Amino acid sequence: MLREGTMARKDKLTRVAVGIGQRSVKADRKAHQVAKAGLVAKQELEDIAKQVEALKRQLQKTTKRLKGRTELGEPGPRGASSSQRLAHTLVINRRATAYP
């Protein structure tokens, strides 16, 4: 009778040990997946940072170029701005009304 109780305990311990082993394998697998996703996210973030830096440089160059044009009185890339056209129209209207 003593033997049967010992065998039952061993079987139960074995089942519990197997369950613990399975859970630890699942946890380890999930940890690897999270680590891999973290590396991918880090690489994507670095790529986005590089794109932002390139856009910053492009914006600085464009701003510098456009400031140079407006200081010289030249129209921008799409012709005169609306404020430049309005100012020109006002000057023409003043000239027309100044000399009747």
Cβ–Cβ < 8 Å for 69, 76: yes
Whether pLDDT at 86 is above 80: no
> Would you put residue 59 in left (φ > 0), alpha (ψ -120 to 50) or beta?
alpha
Q: List the domain range (segments joined by +) for residue 42.
A: 1-47
Least confident of 6-15, 39-48, 84-93: 84-93
In a domain, 24, yes or no: yes
Residues 10 and 37 in one domain: yes
Asked whether residue 52 is domain-assigned, the answer is no
- Number of independent structural domains in the chain: 2
CA 20 to chain CA mean position, Å: 41
Residues 62 and 41 in one domain: no
- Express each pLDDT in 28-71 by its tens digit: 999 999 999 999 999 999 999 999 999 999 999 998 888 876 66
Question: Is 41 a domain residue?
Answer: yes
- Pick from 22, 62, 16: nearest CA to 8: 16
